[in-house]
């Protein structure tokens, strides 16, 4: 899910890079597994209006990056963090345009959460069936305009929005991990 052309390709983290975390929250609904994505509100920044996982910057009061992911998910979409079971983490990913190193934290709720988006940060919450990302033709490619660049990249289309970049890479890794854990059919 890597961009094939972008100004930031090849840029690597340094001592100024900030740590952050996102929560990839899985939950059952209508006999399927879902996860929430947020549509960011418009603001003066590189990620304005993009689709992402709830999450944000590590703060000194956070115990660790897992706590960061849970705190941010509570702030952004109002989920009850005490009910979330942490399943693990995926590979940290560097987001060069905003200079963040992000840890994807995978969690599970045994019920569909009531989400309450923070209107300052979240324009909408998109509840997406996890299997949507594995359907044939789910990956497309196009140019996406971001401040100061025109990026050619693969993406997932979700409710009329493009899910690309780090968020798409995290989804792809999650699908890969889940597929690797699937039972082998020897028939």
| pLDDT, tens digit (0-9, with 9 covering 90-100), for 23-46 | 999 999 999 999 999 998 765 655
User: Between these two residues, 52 and 12, which has the higher pLDDT value?
Assistant: 52
- Calculate the CA dihedral of residues 16, 17, 19, 20 and round it to 10 degrees: 130
**23 closest CA partner among 81, 105, 80:** 105
CB 4: neighbour CB atoms within 10 A?
Answer: 10
Q: Is CATH 3.30.2010.10 correct for 18-179?
A: no
Least confident of 27-41, 57-71, 117-131, 173-187: 173-187
Residue 42, pLDDT score: 66
Share of the chain above pLDDT 90, in %: 65
**121 closest CA partner among 41, 62, 53, 29:** 41
- Give Cα separations from 34 to 17, 84, 109, 127 (angstroms): 32, 14, 10, 6
DSSP code at position 31: T
SS3 content of the chain, % helix, strand, coil (to 5): 20, 40, 40
**53 closest CA partner among 186, 182, 181, 165:** 165
Residue indicated by tokens 């044939």: 136
**113 closest CA partner among 46, 36, 44, 174:** 36
Alpha helices in 32-132 (DSSP H): 65-77
pLDDT of 96-151, one tens digit each? Answer: 878 889 999 999 999 999 999 999 989 999 999 999 999 988 899 988 777 677 88
The answer to whether 84 and 105 have CB atoms below 8 angstroms apart is no
User: Between these two residues, 13 and 5, which has the higher pLDDT value?
Assistant: 13
**Cα Rg of the chain, angstroms:** 16
Residue 128, pLDDT score: 97
């Amino acid at each position: 899910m890597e961009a094939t052309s972008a100004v930031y390709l090849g840029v690597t983290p340094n001592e100024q890079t900030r740590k952050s975390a996102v929560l990839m929250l899985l939950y059952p609904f209508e006999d399927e597994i879902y996860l929430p994505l947020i549509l960011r509100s418009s603001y003066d920044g590189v990620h304005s209006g993009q689709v992402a996982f709830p999450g944000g910057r590590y703060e000194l009061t956070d115990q660790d990056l897992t706590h960061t992911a849970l705190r941010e998910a509570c702030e952004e979409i109002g989920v009850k963090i005490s009910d979330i079971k942490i399943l693990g983490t995926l590979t940290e990913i560097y987001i060069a345009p905003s200079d963040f190193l992000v840890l994807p934290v995978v969690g599970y709720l045994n019920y569909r959460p009531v989400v309450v988006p923070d209107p300052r940060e979240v324009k909408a919450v998109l509840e997406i069936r996890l299997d949507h990302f594995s359907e044939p033709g789910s990956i497309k490619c196009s140019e996406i305009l971001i401040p100061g660049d025109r990026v050619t990249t693969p993406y997932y289309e979700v409710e009329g929005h493009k899910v690309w970049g780090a968020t798409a890479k995290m989804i792809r890794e999650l699908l890969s991990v889940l597929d690797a854990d699937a039972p082998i059919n020897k028939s």
